[in-house]
Amino acid sequence: MRSLLSRTDLSKWLYFGLHIKRWLALLLISIAIMGLGFAYLLREAYAVYAFPSWASEVTLQFMPRWARGLLFLSIASSLGVFSAWRLNRSLAEAVAPQARGGALLDMVYARRTQERGPRIVAIGGGTGLSTMLRGIKRYTSNVTAIVTVADDGGSSGRLRRDLQVIPPGDIRACIAALADAEPLVTELFQYRFNETSGDGIAGHSFGNLFIAAMAGVTGSMEAAIAETSRVLAVRGRIVPSTMEDIVLSAKMPDGSTVRGESRLPASGVPPLAVMIEPRNAAAHPAAVHAIAEAELIVIGPGSLYTSVLPNLLVPGIGQALRDSRAFKVYISNVATQRGETNGYSAADHYAALLRHLGANWLADVILANTNLPSEPFPEPWGAEPVSAPGDADYAGARLVLADLVDPERRLRHDSEKLASAVMRLYFERDLRQRVGEAALAR
């Protein structure tokens, strides 16, 4: 009985925001009214009908009425507790098999909480963006991922050339990160065919093929993203920064121009500037609307020149970002990338964003990793930790340091650490704002 009365099981029915208490209360009221109805009927039966002597023993007439009342209440409470516990387990096993052990209410509570979470826009691409989304979906389902479509290498590049669709790779990664489907389904979506699979399919990701096929079935890439998100129960929305066929090019220090996102890292040195073609590519209206409605905008993490900037260089995206009054956080990478950001600090990453946007200010906070390794990265990695010196110029943004690195993969962020740090910044910002308003009021 102790387990039935534990907070971890039954008191969760009373959590705020579940939209369950009102119906439980109505159910209890209806049961109480029904009990009163039975009581009146029994009272009338006692008055007009002579029961045999054994009926007195069965109905516990030898006990005081208050004792009978307490006994009936105890029996009813025990039955109610037991039935609620069994109902919880039965629903969990039938509706959500992965929630066995009484975790269905945890899922309901989490979903209700996420529905009331802040409106977040995350801008980027590649592994960095999907890593951040995997953690942030625990806090809110009101998240819009704005994804780059400049990828022209690998599976995405082949599908882009063969089928004339926007590259699905970064979109696939974000869908997998935000999906609420079974882990096996998500793993299947990320599966990549190896060299033994045949010339036509080798190197392709199953998810990329799925999205491309869905585009053929639905008639458009936008519908394909929406339907794939529905199939995988995605929390939030994935929106391409533009639906146009853009090409990323870079101006190099030697005066040459490199054309194509996949060719940029091969130069071995960071570019002076990157551009998109066409330069007047139209921003996706849903992306612009999401930025305008956002309460929190997260820029990065991700490859600076090939994942983050291709989004911001779409004129409508960059302008909407500058106009937005949302709280903005730029997340610096934890490691440099050979051919893109050799030797860059967190301040250098942020300065490149400002330079390309022609802006003096962009983010409220620069979030950088403070858990730097004591030894250099191995030479084959072609990377080094990104430092965040406190005396560097961050153009008015506030530098915040936190342990953000994945201990198993030192080149990447840890999704839970990163999401926790971002949400803490957002809620602390809200608290500081209220304190400031109260001080002004006095």
Which pLDDT score is estimated for 52? 78
348 pLDDT exceeds 60? yes
Which pLDDT score is estimated for 434? 55
81 pLDDT exceeds 70? yes
More confident residue, 258 or 85: 258
The rounded mean pLDDT for the chain is: 84
Tell me the pLDDT tens digit for each residue of 283-327: 999 999 999 999 999 998 999 999 999 999 999 999 999 999 999
94: tokens are: 């039938």
Beta bridge partners of residue 122, listed in sequence order: 145, 298
Asked whether the beta carbons of 349 and 386 are under 8 A apart, the reply is yes
More confident residue, 49 or 421: 421
Mean pLDDT is lowest, of 100-104, 125-129, 246-250, for 100-104
- Domains of the chain, by residue range, sit at 11-112, 117-441
433 pLDDT exceeds 70? no
- Please name the residues in contact with 371: beta carbons below 8 A apart, sequence gap of 6 or more: 403, 404, 405
Tell me the pLDDT tens digit for each residue of 124-178: 888 899 999 999 988 888 999 999 999 888 888 888 888 888 999 899 999 999 9
Which phi and psi (to 5°) does residue 299 adopt?
-105, 120
Laid out side by side, the sheet with 237-240 consists of 237-240, 143-147, 120-124, 296-299, 327-331, 365-369, 398-402
What count of Cα atoms within 13 Å lies in the side-chain half-sphere of residue 191? 12
CATH class assigned to 117-441: alpha beta
Which pLDDT score is estimated for 7? 46
| pTM score of the predicted model | 0.77
